[in-house]
Amino acid sequence: MASSVSRERSPGHRGRGAAATGIAPEPVFTVDEMVGRFQRILQSHERSPCTVKQYGHIARTFLGYVHKPLDEVTKRDLEAFREYLVLQRHYSKNSVYTTVRGLTCLFRTFGLAAAEGLEAPRRPERLPHYLSEEETHRLFTAVADSPRDSAMVHVLAFCGLRVSELCNLSLEDVEFQRNLLHVRSGKGDKDREVVMEDKTRTAIDRYLTERALAGEGSTRLFPVGPVTVERIVRRAARDAAITQRVTPHMLRHTLATALLSRGCDIRYIQKLLGHASVATTQIYTHVDTQALRDAYTRAKPQY
């Protein structure tokens, strides 16, 4: 029998005596129903597909562990679950951090306060992985025969879009007159404009010409999902003989690192990437060791 995880109380709820007074019993939700309901609410709030999937998995794991209605969960239950993840499932700090975020969202979504004050561990600051300019050029060569794949890789590498932002681009978001891409409802539900430089413009023109000849009628610029984009980038990296694991997000890191190394003001990089705070962008100052060497050479004391 599926375990119940939540109850919805009617205004006339009378507890265990409800049946005797003629009031209908409370509806009981199974784990599957509760997770589905949670994910639908996240989708209605326009959370990214990745977040919907990830938070749904967190909710399912927790509800399968706790075996009680959501409105009966205590802070002690949540602390015990976190201990279980660390001591028995051997979760990393990053995984525990994401789980705490997901649980906080779950309880807030249903108006419950049990997860308030649940502390997330401090995430370790890891330097982002990125490609060299020579490796990025090889990646372009690997997708040159496919107008669609070439256009996508150019947008990722030259415009710094997140994969969800790439998949959400519509044809109307391409402003050819000013060579701009309009990113709608990016992370934090913010809009921004990014520059579409010449190589990217050429790749998009070639792709749209092929689409027109094929009679493609989608209003989306790239009518594919994030998994397809991941697969395309991974295959291109393999064909380009790049040994490290390459993801679409790595191309975003690659752009930021390349711009910084060529002297671009970090505030412009922040705006291009859509970071809410320049503190997020500053991690790239630790990546660009050549810029660090140059700055040190100019400023070192003459003992």
Rounded to whole angstroms, how far apart are CA atoms 109 and 123?
24
271: annotated active-site residue: no
201: annotated active-site residue: no
By three-state DSSP, how is residue 7 classified?
strand
45: annotated active-site residue: no
Q: Which of 55, 130, 207, 284 is catalytic?
A: 284
CB atoms within 10 A of CB 197: 12
91: annotated active-site residue: no
Q: Which of 187, 206, 234, 235 is catalytic?
A: 187
Interior angle at CA 34, CA 28 and CA 38, nearest 5: 140
C-alpha distances (whole Å) from 32 to each of 47, 60, 77, 201, 246 are 20, 8, 20, 45, 34
- Indicate the helix (H) or strand (E) that contains 236: helix 226-239
Q: Which of 60, 154, 253, 275 is catalytic?
A: 275
Q: Which of 68, 138, 249, 271 is catalytic?
A: 249
Q: Which of 60, 82, 252, 253 is catalytic?
A: 252
C-alpha distances (whole Å) from 29 to each of 6, 34, 65, 70, 194 are 6, 6, 16, 10, 45
- Indicate the helix (H) or strand (E) that contains 4: strand 4-7
234: annotated active-site residue: no
Q: What is the identity of the amino acid at 275?
A: H
Q: Which of 47, 82, 148, 162 is catalytic?
A: 162
Q: Which residues are catalytic?
A: 162, 187, 249, 252, 275, 284
